[in-house]
Copies of this chain bind each other. A is one copy, B any other.
């Protein structure tokens, strides 16, 4: 009996905003696996802003996808057939199979995960996965926050930002989030325990950020770019640090927003470092240990927005780029 796979392919390179027509959903047969291989049924697909960059041609920090390639992405799944002694049927695994229902692997890069009541499978795509590790590496290794300092994080209610803020709170910092809309800001303050949150959609970003950071800004965890970056640059303290993680406000811009106050980096003797988490895997054991303890003890809070079924992945992805999700955006595949 042939198993039917369903895949989402890149159909067109978007110019500006992504449209559902930029994807093509196809059905294929799952081929028979060979010796050494594992067939995985994916349970959840992670949707992340970086995927927008892969849809472009040209230089980014990762190779761009080709037209008709399966869209890339992290997945958690369950082994349904194995000809690899390291994996058994029913093993839960973290992989990088992309936007499809099934994936075949020779075991390289496939990681067994321990799913428990406290740590559901989807967590390995969020607080315990790439977003959580990204938060840890950027904040702790690059941002180096000290107790009493003011840490600001943009996209504060998102999968990365929510972890950044909670890690900074745990280190005794004053934590200010920036998020779009009243509901996200309330969540960040009331549920996640940030000291304050600035709603950039309220129309007075500069005034609100100034009020929320009376002692200036020592660490800015940057996820968005654009006008929010400029507003933050004007509030930096001497020797501030900026882990530069994402620029999501710019990913769909046909004309990038030019930064008017770059000179603030000189005046304040700022350390800024762009990073992608995969280049800091030496820190993963330490990060994973702290995040794992926080998640399993319920101290690290997170939220998920889950789209149902692979056919809905393009819509959910576009919604995430527009900030419609709450917390980690996932697609439930099975």
Contact = CB atoms under 8 A, between A and B. Distances in A.
Interface of A: 59-61, 225, 229, 238, 244-247, 250, 256, 258-263, 265-276, 279
B273 A272 contact: yes
Name, among A59, A229, A267, A268, the residue most crowded by chain B CB atoms within 10 Å (CB to CB). A267
A59 to B, nearest CB: 6
19 contacts: A61-B238, A61-B267, A61-B268, A225-B263, A245-B266, A246-B266, A247-B262, A247-B263, A247-B266, A250-B263, A256-B261, A256-B263, A258-B259, A258-B262, A259-B259, A266-B274, A269-B274, A269-B276, A270-B273
Nearest to A60: B267
A314 to B, nearest CB: 25
Given A250-B263, A262-B225, A61 B256 contact: no
Contacts of A229: 262
Listed from nearest, the 7 A-B pairs whose CB atoms lie closest are A258-B258, A266-B274, A258-B260, A269-B274, A259-B262, A272-B272, A265-B274
Nearest to A260: B258
Nearest to A246: B266
A59 B238 CA distance: 11
A238 B279 CA distance: 11
Q: Which one of A60, A238, A245, A269 has the highest number of Cβ atoms from chain B below 10 Å of its Cβ?
A: A269
Given A271-B271, A272-B273, A273-B271, A61 B262 contact: no
Given A61-B267, A61-B268, A245-B266, 18 more contacts: A61-B238, A61-B266, A61-B269, A225-B263, A229-B262, A247-B266, A250-B263, A256-B260, A256-B263, A258-B258, A258-B262, A265-B272, A266-B274, A268-B274, A269-B276, A270-B272, A270-B274, A271-B272
Contacts of A267: 59-61, 274
A267 B59 CA distance: 8
Contacts of A60: 267
A58 to B, nearest CB: 10
Contacts of A272: 265, 270-273
Contacts of A225: 262-263
Nearest to A222: B266
Nearest to A258: B258
Nearest to A242: B272
Nearest to A261: B256
Contacts of A269: 61, 273-276, 279
A96 to B, nearest CB: 20
A266 B247 CA distance: 8
Contacts of A266: 61, 244-247, 274
Contacts of A268: 61, 274
A164 to B, nearest CB: 16
Contacts of A256: 260-263
A12 to B, nearest CB: 22
Contacts of A250: 263
Nearest to A142: B271
Nearest to A234: B59
Nearest to A244: B266
A272 B245 CA distance: 14
